[in-house]
């Protein structure tokens, strides 16, 4: 099966040496494709980690990182995290770690904390080791201790792992807590596969269908936009009312469809897909496999509902963005619709020089902009572009004031002027362009 132009571009990019600079115009010229096709392929390459766009440098080929497929933390994965080894209970390594308990109490006191699926972190205390195993918990020995043969036999019999690490209890507990936290964050992120309508409930047409077939499908479903696939079931186009207007019923769908449409893949985040749907005004986006075979669709309505819901819900403070948002204080101003915001620079938010990190300042401004648009226009928004100017360093423990003024609002986007002041002096200024989502 021959590759599409899109696939050819992705293959070309993947074969480029790491550090090679690429451009839409260069790809279009070298591979004899349209700049639109080159642009979409480069965006896809960026989404899958083949390239990265760096300010003032451009788009360059980067080393693709291996995708972490870990969805739940098993004892087998835990061994890798703690640089440990397995002393017994090898057949239970695929079991999932639910929580961990530090064995620093008396045996009687810790009984109520030990549950099946837990991990007991303990040193050279055989009584605690046996207690944990009998109550369905695995055992992790810190400090490099060993266990008796009888305890190993019990672990093998119950298929509960006994792990060992050279790290101390505090260090290993911190490592496990971080791993569990990372998994919680991944679990909370909504992917396309969580919202996509499966192929069994997707209406689509083939290149052999006619405009008459399109009208019949519209009459039966009351939808007006459909993916178009070829005989191999590969996505080749989209067809809408605009495409078929004033055309003969006998005309083939292939001759009127919009070719090389935008599409999504199941592993993509809903936020990234929604960003493009908002900007391009797309009501639905086909979902495809790597081979471009159609496997379903995702609708703008479902994406907007999901994105708005995620912004409205209180977030667990385990992500840096949540920590930053929680430290921003909103203050209403009499006589003005836009609120003003304050932020005290904590030690976690500074760089090695003890001043506010450039990335944190970007995040503060992004949060304030979204809150300002929500307060005045009742729209959720997605940041499209930030031009940030840093006039003076902002020291740790400083209190800054962030004032975002809306310059203009269009049907799809808004532009804001943001001033950051410290001690009544301007410390930073930004011009921010955002995409507007559907109203709340």
List, edge to edge, every strand of the sheet that includes 99-102.
85-88, 162-164, 138-141, 118-122, 99-102
Q: Does one domain contain both 296 and 324?
A: no
Per residue in 391-436, pLDDT (tens digit) is 888 988 899 999 999 999 988 889 999 999 998 899 999 999 998 8
Using alpha carbons, list the distances in angstroms from residue 317 to 91, 265, 323, 326.
Answer: 36, 29, 6, 8
pLDDT value of position 160: 93
pLDDT value of position 417: 95
Would you say residue 69 lies in a domain?
no
Query: Is a pLDDT exceeding 60 seen at residue 78?
Result: yes
- The C-alpha atoms of residue 132 and residue 117 are separated, in whole angstroms, by 10
What CATH number corresponds to the domain at position 119? 3.40.1390.20
Where is average pLDDT lowest: 24-38, 117-131, 298-312, 411-425?
Answer: 298-312
**Stronger pLDDT, 173 or 364, i.e. the higher one:** 364
Query: Is a pLDDT exceeding 50 seen at residue 66?
Result: no
Q: Does one domain contain both 433 and 322?
A: yes
Q: Does one domain contain both 335 and 293?
A: no
pLDDT value of position 253: 93
Query: Is a pLDDT exceeding 70 seen at residue 55?
Result: no
Would you say residue 67 lies in a domain?
no
Would you say residue 268 lies in a domain?
yes
Res. 376 pLDDT band, cuts 50 70 90: confident
Which residue range forms the structural domain that includes residue 163? 75-188
**Stronger pLDDT, 237 or 339, i.e. the higher one:** 237
Contact 38, 27 (CB under 8 A): yes
Query: Is a pLDDT exceeding 80 seen at residue 352?
Result: no
- The C-alpha atoms of residue 227 and residue 297 are separated, in whole angstroms, by 8
Q: How many domains does the chain have?
A: 4
Closest CA to 131 of 149, 109, 159: 109
Res. 70 pLDDT band, cuts 50 70 90: very low
What CATH number corresponds to the domain at position 243? 3.10.580.10
Contact 179, 73 (CB under 8 A): yes
Last residue of a domain, one of 274, 306, 338: 306
Partners of 283 in beta bridges: none
List, edge to edge, every strand of the sheet that includes 235-239.
205-206, 226-229, 235-239, 258-259
- The C-alpha atoms of residue 8 and residue 2 are separated, in whole angstroms, by 10
Q: Does one domain contain both 289 and 232?
A: yes
Q: Does one domain contain both 50 and 137?
A: no
Would you say residue 27 lies in a domain?
yes
Where is average pLDDT lowest: 167-171, 198-202, 435-439?
Answer: 435-439
Q: Does one domain contain both 274 and 220?
A: yes
Q: Does one domain contain both 179 and 215?
A: no
Last residue of a domain, one of 128, 162, 188: 188
Query: Is a pLDDT exceeding 50 seen at residue 145?
Result: yes
- The C-alpha atoms of residue 240 and residue 358 are separated, in whole angstroms, by 45
Closest CA to 96 of 64, 124, 74, 113: 74
pLDDT value of position 270: 81
Average pLDDT value for the chain: 84
Would you say residue 278 lies in a domain?
yes
pLDDT value of position 240: 92
Contact 142, 87 (CB under 8 A): no
Percent of the chain with pLDDT over 90: 30
- The C-alpha atoms of residue 203 and residue 297 are separated, in whole angstroms, by 9
**Stronger pLDDT, 316 or 309, i.e. the higher one:** 309
Q: Does one domain contain both 325 and 401?
A: yes
Q: What is the mean pLDDT of residues 311-324?
A: 59
CB neighbourhood size of 98 (10 A): 15
Per residue in 270-309, pLDDT (tens digit) is 877 877 787 777 889 999 988 889 999 998 888 877 766 5
Last residue of a domain, one of 188, 217, 245: 188
Would you say residue 70 lies in a domain?
no
Q: What is the mean pLDDT of residues 351-358?
A: 82
Q: Does one domain contain both 48 and 91?
A: no
Reading the block at residue 376, the tokens are 């005045």
Q: Does one domain contain both 321 and 276?
A: no
Res. 2 pLDDT band, cuts 50 70 90: low
Per residue in 179-218, pLDDT (tens digit) is 766 665 555 567 888 888 888 889 999 999 999 999 999 9
Query: Is a pLDDT exceeding 90 seen at residue 84?
Result: no
Query: Is a pLDDT exceeding 80 seen at residue 337?
Result: no
- The C-alpha atoms of residue 423 and residue 421 are separated, in whole angstroms, by 7
- The C-alpha atoms of residue 185 and residue 172 are separated, in whole angstroms, by 20
Q: Does one domain contain both 273 and 175?
A: no
């Amino acid at each position: 099966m021959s590759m599409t132009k899109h696939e050819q571009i992705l293959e070309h990019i993947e074969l480029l040496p790491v550090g090679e600079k690429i451009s839409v115009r260069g790809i279009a010229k070298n591979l004899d494709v349209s700049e639109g096709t080159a642009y979409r392929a480069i965006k896809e390459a960026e989404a899958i980690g083949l390239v990265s766009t760096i300010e003032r440098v451009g788009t360059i080929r980067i080393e693709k990182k291996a995708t972490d497929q870990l969805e739940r933390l098993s004892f087998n994965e835990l061994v890798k995290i703690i640089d440990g080894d397995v002393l017994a209970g090898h057949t239970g390594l695929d079991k999932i770690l639910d929580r961990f308990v530090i064995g620093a109490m008396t045996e009687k006191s810790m009984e109520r904390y030990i549950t099946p699926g837990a991990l007991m972190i303990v040193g050279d205390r055989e009584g605690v080791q046996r207690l944990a195993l009998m109550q369905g918990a695995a055992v992790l020995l810190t400090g490099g201790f060993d266990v008796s043969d009888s305890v190993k036999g019990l672990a093998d019999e119950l298929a509960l792992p006994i792990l060992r690490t050279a790290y101390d209890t505090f260090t290993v507990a911190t490592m496990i807590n971080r791993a569990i936290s990372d998994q919680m964050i991944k679990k909370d992120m909504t992917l396309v596969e969580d919202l996509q309508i499966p192929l069994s409930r997707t209406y689509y047409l083939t290149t052999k269908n006619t405009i008459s077939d399109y009208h019949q499908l519209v009459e039966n479903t009351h939808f007006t936009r459909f993916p178009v696939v070829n005989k191999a079931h590969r996505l080749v186009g989209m067809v809408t009312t605009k495409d078929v207007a004033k055309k003969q019923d006998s005309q083939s769908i292939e001759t009127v469809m919009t070719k090389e449409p935008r599409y999504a893949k199941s592993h993509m985040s809903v936020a990234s897909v929604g960003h493009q749907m908002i900007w391009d005004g797309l009501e639905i986006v086909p979902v495809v496999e790597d081979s471009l075979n159609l496997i379903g669709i995702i609708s703008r309505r479902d994406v907007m509902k999901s994105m708005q819901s995620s912004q409205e819900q209180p977030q667990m403070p385990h992500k840096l963005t949540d920590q930053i948002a929680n430290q921003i204080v909103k203050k209403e101003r009499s006589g003005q619709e836009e609120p003003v915001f304050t932020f005290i620079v904590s030690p976690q938010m500074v760089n090695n020089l003890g001043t506010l990190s450039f990335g944190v300042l970007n995040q503060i401004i992004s949060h304030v902009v979204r809150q300002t648009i929500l307060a005045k226009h009742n729209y959720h928004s997605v940041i499209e572009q930030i031009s940030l100017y840093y006039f003076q360093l902002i020291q740790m423990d400083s209190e800054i004031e962030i004032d975002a003024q809306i310059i203009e609002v269009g049907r799809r986007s808004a532009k804001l002027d943001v001033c950051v002041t410290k001690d009544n002096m301007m410390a930073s200024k930004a011009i921010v362009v955002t995409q507007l989502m559907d109203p709340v």
